[in-house]
Structure 1
Amino acid sequence: MDINQLRVNALKAVMAGASQKDFANQHGLDASYLSQILNGHRNLGEKAAANLEEKIGLAAGSLVSPARSEVSVPAKPGLSAIEQLKLSLSKVKGFSSEARDRIVAAAEEPDSGPTNFLPASLSGLRPTNDEILIPQYDIRAAMGHGQVPPDYTEVVRNLVVREEILREKGVTYTSAASLAMINGWGQSMEGTINDKDLVIVDKGVRDFVGEGIYVLTWHQELYIKRVMRLDEENYRLISDNQHYENQTARIDDVTIHAKVLFIWNGRKA
């Protein structure tokens, strides 16, 4: 594991389950910058790590040299998971008692509501060996005019689905951990993906792997589009709704975030 990933893992341990928004607000951080670090879109260099240590109130070296420092609290025999969490939170500087209480409350949240959806907290989830947990993120990807990508992303709920159902639908993916759900927004893909449809995406696909539907950023706006490669320098961004024009985009101007696998209305992408 490289030093950047070690620093990111150390930062996640310090966050101790807090949302990116709450943690950024608590410590006066830029939420967009924090999101980029946690999602791997920006490296956490030595200078940046040192600045974060100072802002968060960590001991010098906690993030700069995480392999040689103890960021997380060692487990103590006899303590429950909730007690371990409370102990970990007590060691993190800068958290108010209210913030700690919210995190603990989320971890203690009982499973309720429809049986096919589970709380956003992962603590109570127990998918079986033949089931997959798919988080739904609070992200709207435009199918029409672009949406500005969010500064941070949060899980709003989790779906547990039997793996055999995905196989029956012909859905293949890089790994179960790379699966996520987001909302489409707009009419440009109508007929394939309708306005506000949930879609299952594979975050493990970060490059063009053949014609298909992708979640992408173009000119700093987030889209769901069918993508075809025109030549060595250009993609064709295709709208399945014939009332919308297709567009040509320079490959260098497009960032692919995920591939759309399945639309949660019974359609395979």
Structure 2
Amino acid sequence: MSELKVHASACDIEPMVHIEEIRAAFAARLKVALSANDMPSWGAGARLAKLAGVTPKASSKWLNGESMPGGAKMLALASALKVRVEWLEYGRGEMKEGPAPESRPLSPQPAEIPAFPTEDDAEDAYVHIKQYSALLSAGPGHANEHVEIRGTLAFKREWIRYMGLNPKNLKVIYAQGSSMEPTINDRDVLLVDESRLDPVDGQVFALFSENKGAIVKRLIFSDLEGWIVRSDNPDKALYADLKIPDGEIHEHRILGRVIWRGGVL
């Protein structure tokens, strides 16, 4: 009798393990598709949520191998990520459709356009970066439901080149609140590089949280606790650290790295 019970228990466990393996394999393919579309792990859950019309919590479960989307959501993801749905769901065949014969170029591609200004505009000593009405909260967060462009701010072209920046990736946004004092004060001007989306230990980033909206914080990495979103303000009773376990980084999107700040001393 006991032998039958052991056998039955093994049969109950085996399908569960099989399902977990399927989910893990799907999560791995999903991350490959994200990488192919230049989507970083940070905030991937929020991006996928918008693509599939679900909550960031649900999409994070896909990335963590805890669940899989249904047929309609799977098709929406495959279409948005430009991959074959059979590959994404089952791992069958190639990730992407091969190019049709007529779509292949018959002549060399045009030369790549230089990222930085050429000699034609070398006389212009300044780069004019667009200023946005959006606010990065150095406090509880800011929704920024309506954003407008409000003129430009001039930066020396020589400095932009020295810093290795591309003007196309830069925007000027203002800080609001005191959680990042004394590094960043209320109403300080911030230059944000939107191309720098990978977290870097000790650096200041503009982040988007589903709960708080747009915020500006310092990212700290701990071997024991994972990534920590930290305010520079020493009053931790008001501005406590936010710990983000590895399984939840997909729900916090990096908007860009803060390169420079300007304000009243």
TM-score (norm 2): 0.47
TM-score (norm 1): 0.47
Comparing both structures, which one devotes a greater share of its residues to helix? 2
Higher RCO (C-alpha 8 Å, min separation 6): 2
